[in-house]
Chain A
Amino acid sequence: MDFKVKKSIAEINEKIKDGSVSVVTADEMAALVRELGAERAAREVDVVTTGTFGAMCSSGVFLNFGHADPPIKMRRVWLNGVEAYAGIAAVDAYLGATQPSERNPEYGGAHVIEELVAGEEIELRAVAHGTDCYPRKSIETEITLADLNQAVMVNPRNAYQRYNAATNSSDRTLYTYMGTLLPNYGNATFCGAGALSPLCNDPEYETIGVGTRILIGGAHGYIIGAGTQHEPVKGKGTLMVIGDLKEMKREFLRAAVFYKYGVTLYLGISVPIPILNEEIAKRTGVSDAEIVTEVIDYGVPRRDRPVVRMVTYAELKSGSIEIEGREVPTAPLSSFYMARRVAEELKRQIERGEFLLTEPVARLPTVGETKPMKQTRELPLVRDVMSREFKVVREDASLEDVAKAIVKGKFTHIPVVDAKNKLVGIVTAWDISLAVAFKYNTLDKIMTRRVVTAKPDEPVDIVVRKFEQFDISAMPVVDDEGHVLGMVTSDQISKLVGR
C-alpha cells in the first residue's frame, strides 16, 4: 500500500533520543483524528500510548530463591501460606496470582506479589523428599524481594482486546469474577479500557507483536507472544507478557478480592503504538462508540450463557443501558482513571527519552479460535437421576392430606400445585411439624413459595451447587411451564457420586 506518511521505528527512536518526539495518549489521539483527519494526525503524532488497568487473573511470577545450606530441592513451597508451583528444578517456583491461601480465601498469590513489590517480608515454607544432592527435607525462612535472585512476572493472558459485559436475570444476587451482579437485571458490569485499550488501537496487530517493549506494573517489560485464549477472529486478542517484578511499583499493581469468588491481580499495562503511516493513525483514532461487545447473562450457570444484547463501550460508560425495556445501571470493574495514568506514565517516559520503541520480531496470530474443553465422560443429567415417583398436593389441600402423602409415599418433600397443575410451592415433613407445634391449620401458612427447582436437562453438578447454596436436600424437577416431572434429592446424588 502506498502511504502518504511513512515513518520507521528507527526514525521515531531518533526523535525520542533528541527529545523532538510527539506523543499522545490513545484518547487524545481519538480527538485528534476526528479533528484533523488520519493523515494530518499521522504527520503530527509519532507515538500513541494505550493503557489498561484491571483484573488480570492469568498472571503470576517466577521466583528464584537461591540455594539453602544444606541444599533443598523443593517439592512443595508456600509463601505466606499460598502455594506456588515448584515442579521446576530445585529452588524455582511459579506463584499464580489467583492461588488462594490455605488459611484465608481472601488472601492469595496476588497479595504476596503486591507485598513483595512493597518490600514486605514474606514467610517461605518448603518441603522436599531429600536426595543425595539435595539432602534437606524442609525449610522455613523469611524473604523479601531484594533477597531473591530473580522475580519475573510472566503472565499467560493479559490485556484482553475487549471482554463481555455481565448482567444477571436470575432472582438472586450472584458473586462472580465480574463483581456483584444484582438480581433481575439489577446492574451490569464490564471490564477493559475501551478505546484506551492496547489491542483495540491495533486490531490488526500491525505494530504490537512479539518483542514489543511495554510498561507493565510500572516497569519496562515485553510482549512475548499472543496470550492464551487469543481469539483474533472474534476481536478478543490477548497478550502474553513479561516484566521484572523488582522494577514494578505498587501503584500500578494491586491485589484484589472478588467476594465469594476469589483473589485476583489488578495490573496496569501500557503499550506504545508507533504511528508509521496514516492507516495506523486511523486505527488509533478508535472511539468507545465503535467498540462493540456482548452483554451476557451470568444468571445461567453454563459455559454458553445467553447474550442479552450487543452494546458499545460508549453505552456502557454512559452509566446505564436498556435491557428488556428497563434502565440498568452500568459500571466498570477496570479503572479508567488508572488506565489513563498508565498511558500518561508511558507518554512521559517516552518524552523524557527513558523509553525506546522496539521492532516486533514476529507478528501475533490474526487467525484462530478458542475451543471449548473436550469432555470424554458424559455428565449425568437431572433426568438420569431424578425420581419419577412423587406426590403433589393442590394448594387447597388440608394438612392431613399432606401428612398422609408424606407417610404413604415416604416422601419428605411434597410439591404444591395450582388448579392447572403448575408448581406454586413446596411443603416438607418439617413444615408439618411446624404446623402441629404452632397450631397452623392451612397449607398456605407453612408452605415455601420461592421453590428452588431443577430442569431435566441440567447437569447434576448444577443441582449439587444449588443444594449447597440454599442448604436444602431435595427439589422438584419442572418443565418450562412449571409442571412437576419428578424430584431430585441429595440422597440420589450421593449414591451417584459413591458409584
Chain B
Amino acid sequence: MKLLLRFPSHLHERPYTAEIILETGAKINIDRAYVDAVHAEVVVDVPDDKARRVVELFKERGVEVRILKKLIVWDETRCVHCGACVSICPKGVFRFDADWRVTLDEGKCVQCGVCINACPMRALALFYGEGERVKQQE
C-alpha cells in the first residue's frame, strides 16, 4: 500500500520513518521524497499486512498520512497511444497491449513524474487527491 506522508516542518529532524521500521519490522520502501525549507513529503510503499500499524504510528507522531489509491491520472480521451511514456518510465507502469494500445499498471507507479512532461498529448498528471497541488522536483 502506498502512503503519502507529510511531515510538519518541526518534525523534519526526527528519524520517525526509521523508528517505525524498527518498531514494526515493516519493510518500507521509499518511492519518492520531496524536502524543502517548509515541506517534507514522502511517498512510501508499505506491505499491506503492516500498513494499518504503520499508519497509526505515523499519525501518533503528528505526521499527516494519506493512503494513495490513485497515483496517476490518465486522460484516455487525449491519449493517442503513441508510447512516449513507455520507454522512459523507470518502473514499467506503461505497456502496450496486443493492439498497441497503452495500458497502465498503476500499482508500479512511484510518482517520479518523468512521464508527465514526456507525454506529447499532455494526457498524464500525478494524483495527490482531489484538488491537491502536485509537488514535483525538476
Q: Which residues of B contact A337 (CB under 8 A)?
A: 80-81, 99-101
B100 touches A258 (CB 8 A): no
**Contacts A259-B118, A264-B120, A266-B120: A331 and B100 contacting too (C-beta < 8 A)?**
no
Q: Which residues from 118 to 132 on chain B have a C-beta closer than 8 Å to any C-beta of chain A? A: 118, 120-122
A254 touches B88 (CB 8 A): no
Task: Tell me the minimal C-beta distance from B98 to chain A in angstroms.
Answer: 11
A266 touches B87 (CB 8 A): no
Task: Tell me the minimal C-beta distance from B76 to chain A in angstroms.
Answer: 12
Q: Which residues of B contact A257 (CB under 8 A)?
A: 120, 122
| B114 on the A face (CB < 8 A) | yes
Task: Tell me the minimal C-beta distance from A146 to chain B in angstroms.
Answer: 23
Q: Which residues from 146 to 193 on chain A have a C-beta closer than 8 Å to any C-beta of chain B? A: 175, 179-180, 182, 186-189
Q: B51-83: contact bitstring with A at CB < 8 Å (1 yes, 0 no)?
A: 000000000000000000000000000101111
B101 touches A180 (CB 8 A): no
A333 touches B88 (CB 8 A): no
The answer, among A266, A329, A338, for a CB contact under 8 Å with B86, is A329
Q: Which residues of B contact A186 (CB under 8 A)?
A: 88
A329 touches B87 (CB 8 A): yes
| A203 on the B face (CB < 8 A) | no
Q: Which residues from 40 to 55 on chain A have a C-beta closer than 8 Å to any C-beta of chain B? A: 53-55
| B117 on the A face (CB < 8 A) | yes
**Contacts A256-B121, A257-B122: A338 and B88 contacting too (C-beta < 8 A)?**
no
Q: Which residues of B contact A259 (CB under 8 A)?
A: 117-118
**Closest B residue to A264 using CB positions:** B120
Q: Which residues of B contact A75 (CB under 8 A)?
A: none
Task: Tell me the minimal C-beta distance from B5 to chain A in angstroms.
Answer: 27
Cα A336 to Cα B85 with chains together (Å): 14
Among A53, A182, A331, the most chain B Cβ lie within 10 Å of the Cβ of A331
Q: Which residues of A contact B122 (CB under 8 A)?
A: 106, 257
**A interface, size bucket:** 20 to 34
Q: Which residues of A contact B26 (CB under 8 A)?
A: none
**Closest B residue to A263 using CB positions:** B120
| A334 on the B face (CB < 8 A) | yes
Task: Tell me the minimal C-beta distance from B59 to chain A in angstroms.
Answer: 37
The total of Cβ contacts below 8 Å across the A-B interface reads 70
Cα A76 to Cα B85 with chains together (Å): 38
Cα A55 to Cα B118 with chains together (Å): 14
Among B82, B83, B86, B100, the most chain A Cβ lie within 10 Å of the Cβ of B82
B101 touches A179 (CB 8 A): no
| A332 on the B face (CB < 8 A) | yes
| A138 on the B face (CB < 8 A) | no
**Contacts A180-B118, A254-B121, A340-B100: A335 and B83 contacting too (C-beta < 8 A)?**
yes
Task: Tell me the minimal C-beta distance from A115 to chain B in angstroms.
Answer: 14
B120 touches A330 (CB 8 A): no
Task: Tell me the minimal C-beta distance from A492 to chain B in angstroms.
Answer: 30
| B1 on the A face (CB < 8 A) | no
A53 touches B80 (CB 8 A): yes
Cα A425 to Cα B101 with chains together (Å): 47
B117 touches A335 (CB 8 A): no
B114 touches A180 (CB 8 A): yes
Cα A334 to Cα B81 with chains together (Å): 8
Cα A187 to Cα B83 with chains together (Å): 12
B117 touches A180 (CB 8 A): yes
A179 touches B100 (CB 8 A): no
A331 touches B87 (CB 8 A): yes
Q: Which residues of A contact B87 (CB under 8 A)?
A: 187-189, 329-331
Cα A335 to Cα B86 with chains together (Å): 12
**Contacts A180-B114, A187-B88, A330-B87: A335 and B82 contacting too (C-beta < 8 A)?**
yes
Cα A374 to Cα B106 with chains together (Å): 51
**Contacts A336-B100, A340-B100: A180 and B121 contacting too (C-beta < 8 A)?**
no
A54 touches B82 (CB 8 A): yes
Q: Which residues of A contact B99 (CB under 8 A)?
A: 337, 340
Cα A247 to Cα B99 with chains together (Å): 28
The answer, among A55, A180, A258, A334, for a CB contact under 8 Å with B88, is A180
Q: Which residues of A contact B83 (CB under 8 A)?
A: 331-333, 335
**Closest B residue to A191 using CB positions:** B82
**Contacts A266-B80, A331-B84, A335-B82: A256 and B120 contacting too (C-beta < 8 A)?**
yes
Task: Tell me the minimal C-beta distance from A98 to chain B in angstroms.
Answer: 13
Cα A164 to Cα B116 with chains together (Å): 25
**Closest B residue to A336 using CB positions:** B100
A254 touches B117 (CB 8 A): no
**Closest B residue to A180 using CB positions:** B118
Cα A256 to Cα B83 with chains together (Å): 13
A182 touches B88 (CB 8 A): yes
Q: Which residues of A contact B85 (CB under 8 A)?
A: 331
Task: Tell me the minimal C-beta distance from A191 to chain B in angstroms.
Answer: 9
Task: Tell me the minimal C-beta distance from B117 to chain A in angstroms.
Answer: 4
Cα A55 to Cα B81 with chains together (Å): 13
**Closest B residue to A340 using CB positions:** B100
A334 touches B82 (CB 8 A): yes
Q: Which residues of A contact B78 (CB under 8 A)?
A: 254
Cα A264 to Cα B13 with chains together (Å): 47
Q: A186-B88, A259-B118 are in contact. List 6 more A-B contacts (CB 8 A).
A: A180-B84, A180-B117, A260-B117, A332-B83, A335-B83, A338-B80
A-B complex: 8 closest residue pairs judged by Cβ atoms: A331-B87, A331-B86, A256-B120, A187-B87, A259-B117, A336-B100, A337-B81, A331-B83
* 21 A–B pairs (Cβ distance < 8 Å), ordered by A: A53-B80, A55-B120, A180-B117, A186-B88, A187-B88, A256-B121, A259-B117, A266-B121, A331-B86, A331-B88, A332-B83, A333-B82, A333-B120, A334-B82, A335-B100, A336-B81, A337-B99, A337-B100, A338-B81, A340-B99, A340-B100
Residue numbers of B with Cβ under 8 A of A are 78, 80-88, 99-101, 114, 117-118, 120-122
